[in-house]
Amino acid sequence: MTAALRFDPIRLPEKCEQLRKEVRAFLAEEIAAGTFDPHKPNREDADAPEFSRRVGAKGWLGMTWPKKYGGQERSFLERYVVTEEMRVANAPTRRFFVADRQSGPVLLKYAPEHIKMDILPRICRGEICFAIGMSEPNSGSDLFAAKTRATKTDGGYLINGTKIWTSSAHIADYMIAIFRTSPPTKENRRHGLTQFLVKMKQPGIKVNPIGQITGQYEFNEVVFTDFFVPDDHVLGEVDGAWKQATSELAYERSGPERFLETYYVLTELVRAVGPNPDTRSAEGIGRLVAQLHTMRRMSVSVAGMLQAGKEPVVEASIVKDIGTVWEQQLPHRVRDLAAFVEETATNRETLERQLDFAIKTAPKLTIQGGTTEVLRGIIARGLGLR
Amino acid sequence: MAESDNIVVETAEKIFADLADPQTINNDRKDSWQAPLWQALSEAGLPLSWVPDDLGGSGASLADGFALLNAAGRFAVAVPLAETMLAGWLLAQAKITSPEGEMTVLPASPKDRITLDADGAVSGRARGVPFAKAAKHFAVLAHGKDGVSIALVDAANARIETGLNVGYDHSDTVTLDKVQPVTIKPAKGFDQTNLMLMGGVARSLQIAGALESMLDISVRYSNERVAFEKKISKFQAVQHNLARLAGESAAALAAATSAADAIANAKAFDDEVYLEAASAKIRCAEAAEKGGAIAHQVHGAIGFTMEHILHRYSLRALAWRDDFGSESHWAVELGKLVANRGADELWPLVASR
């Protein structure tokens, strides 16, 4: 039967609750000091380098990594708590989040020792920002269609081609990217891709901004022209990146950031309806809270699987599928219910401003980190349908 | 199937597999499977799982009992196992010994009230009482002027108007007219909401189990059925539908087992348990609707026939939405709780476990 799809009801251990208090206190101080406004998700938070450093100083970056690389050797569950508290508070995490979630673990697994010693402690201190170079023009969700070439040359590779939809490339210090080192084989179209560590802000890389429908700027096109990457920046197996890239994506799919991106509109709705809601508002809020609670329990459960050393690829895909569809629908459900909010609600303007932004954010949520269609394909594979 | 080291669940699954094979039951027009199944379950002590040894039960843990209900849902058995377990549990709250035989609980809806008169008789009407027709005794929660009492009532003293729920199981209206209970005791610190939450979680586990089976038989069917010269499992649209069914099934199971775990480990029915239990009932009911629709879609017309077993799961899952408070009821109540605690307390509540 469907034994693979159990989400055991794990509870966060006591030390997570202590940590949660510390994170909340820290964020309250930052808000009081004016670092960010939790009611304004629609800001450019790329330029919060000092906040990154303060988070690093708290020991909340690279939390699960070995101490010799600057990590804390703490659990996935502790990291989970930090992530969800940051997200719920709308903290400016963009500068460090990708490195903490994804790039660091890739380096830990595949980079040579001297590179680990150089880069990982700087991630942990919140000093550097990473981007992920996967999509290309005309490849998108089809990772294996990537064409950007890495041609072997003396002491390294020359890169030519274009990556696209690359979040934060304009502020990133490094990018972990996949490039084509040889053509796909007939037997395996996934063959021929290699993962590289790319040092940004060097000649041969041009970063072109792409505006988003939210009015923000986060995406980029990144053009490589005879860009040199040294041999020791190859990550893992030459021509074998497809295995690495897919396991990397599992980190990206089940975390609290995959259902909390528009959460703020729900809080703001609860504030607007006040302590004695009408029946329609109460029912709407109750359903949304039940759905949120269930997804979070599933997501915590997957964090527990990761902590136990499992590779919950299908489970992570299910959490992301349900989670991103939910966070996409949330602004629209809140909008329905906001029609019944009294004109006199003190936060009415804030709610409307947030809804405007969340509705514009929503279309991307089921695309980033793997489209819904790709995820459902992975789940179908897990069910033995393909 | 859950790879269970839980002896209660293992015992139950063996009995279900031997005596409650859905195909056999489906083809049995005389319901001749019911008596041997109930006898086997009773001999194994399963209906009184939640009753301590000294009150006539087998004293299994709450956790084991919840796992048993999930297994019962996977077989969608039409015997009052969950109802007798709940009744035994309710009686045990007031230290009342459970009798042998089938039982059910009342009220089974948050809107109904049974009252306790000054002379110790109980009166009132309870609608949608599952398996009332089959029960020999009722465990009754009654409101008196000094608070809540729990009573064991002989079913022969009640008036029962029979009805069927959407899943073709008995869902009856029970009227008690100044009935003297067999036993009645005050239940300090207990209230009707606790009973509804407990019943709701029981139903959530059954719904989750039914969805697990619906996923299982739908996947199997899609790998057998050929249309347009291909197995239908090879069509991307069918794959995506089944992926969504897997998601609904997983969400229902996660919500239900989390709520069961919360009740099994909590000292009281506090706000966190309320969030867990109400959420489970809401989310599982939503999953029953969405998941059941997909299972039928995958099966095409064959799943709409009485000859096929799909309805045993899909209709029951839909019916179970209504017992112990529908999802609409709990959504309103949970929404009120959240609003009353205030916006800044929402996240701390959700993140409390």
Per the CB < 8 A criterion, the answer to whether B349 and B275 are in contact is: yes
Contacting residues of A for B278, CB less than 8 Å apart: 286, 290
CB contact under 8 A, B344 and A267: yes
Q: Could you give the CA distance from residue A94 to residue A346 in angstroms, rounded to a whole number?
A: 30
The answer, for A277 touching chain B at a CB cutoff of 8 Å, is: yes
Q: What is the pTM of this model?
A: 0.96
Which among B234, B245, B350 is the top mutation candidate for probing chain A, defined by the most A β-carbons within 10 Å of its own β-carbon?
Answer: B350
Q: Distance (Å) from the C-alpha of residue B132 to the closest C-alpha of chain A?
A: 30
Contacting residues of B for A21, CB less than 8 Å apart: none
* Closest C-alpha to A370, from A142, A98, A195: A142
Which among A297, A318, A366, A372 is the top mutation candidate for probing chain B, defined by the most B β-carbons within 10 Å of its own β-carbon?
Answer: A297
In SS3 terms, B140-168 reads as: EEEEECCEEEEEEEEHHHCEEECCECCCC
**pLDDT for B38-84, tens place per residue?**
999 999 999 999 999 999 999 999 999 999 999 999 999 889 999 99
Q: Distance (Å) from the C-alpha of residue A302 to the closest C-alpha of chain B?
A: 11
Percentage above 90 pLDDT, chain B: 94
CB contact under 8 A, A281 and B239: no
Joined together, the tokens standing for residue A372 give 């819904």
Per the CB < 8 A criterion, the answer to whether B238 and B218 are in contact is: no
pLDDT for the residue A246: 72
Q: Distance (Å) from the C-alpha of residue B86 to the closest C-alpha of chain A?
A: 22
pLDDT for the residue A244: 82
**Average pLDDT along chain B:** 96
Phi, psi at residue A344, to the nearest 5°? -85, 0
Contacting residues of A for B223, CB less than 8 Å apart: 384-385
B244: closest chain A residue by CA: A376
* Closest C-alpha to A223, from A170, A151, A155: A170
CB contact under 8 A, A7 and B278: no
Of A84, A282, A318, the CB nearest to B247: A318
Q: Could you give the CA distance from residue B84 to residue B86 in angstroms, rounded to a whole number?
A: 5
B345: closest chain A residue by CA: A267
CB within 8 Å of B193: residues ≥ 6 apart: B110, B269, B274
The answer, for A354 touching chain B at a CB cutoff of 8 Å, is: no
Per the CB < 8 A criterion, the answer to whether A271 and A342 are in contact is: no
In the predicted model, is pLDDT for residue B2 greater than 80? no
Q: Which residue has the higher pLDDT, A249 or B346?
A: B346
**pLDDT for B222-268, tens place per residue?**
999 999 999 999 999 999 999 999 999 999 999 999 999 999 999 99
Q: Could you give the CA distance from residue A232 to residue A199 in angstroms, rounded to a whole number?
A: 12
* Closest C-alpha to B64, from B53, B48, B40, B79: B48
CA dihedral sign, ordered A190, A194, A199, A202: negative
CB within 8 Å of B31: residues ≥ 6 apart: none
Of A7, A268, A271, the CB nearest to B253: A7
CB contact under 8 A, B335 and A88: no
CB contact under 8 A, A11 and B332: no
User: Radius of gyration (Cα) for chain A, nearest Å?
Assistant: 21
The answer, for A283 touching chain B at a CB cutoff of 8 Å, is: yes
ipTM over 0.95: yes
CB contact under 8 A, A289 and B219: no
A280: closest chain B residue by CA: B332
Give exposure, A289-320, as e/b (b: 16+ Cβ within 10 Å).
bbbbbbbbbbbbbbbbbbbeeeebbbbbbbbb
Q: Could you give the CA distance from residue B157 to residue A112 in angstroms, rounded to a whole number?
A: 80
Per-residue pLDDT tens listing for chain A (386 residues): 554 588 999 999 999 999 999 999 999 999 999 999 999 887 776 568 999 999 999 999 999 999 999 999 999 999 999 999 999 999 999 999 999 999 999 999 999 999 999 999 999 999 999 999 999 998 888 888 999 999 999 999 999 999 999 999 999 999 999 999 999 999 888 999 999 999 999 999 999 999 999 998 999 999 999 999 999 999 999 999 988 877 667 677 889 999 999 999 999 999 999 999 999 999 999 999 999 999 999 999 999 998 898 888 899 999 999 999 999 999 999 999 999 999 999 999 999 999 999 999 999 999 988 899 999 999 999 999 98
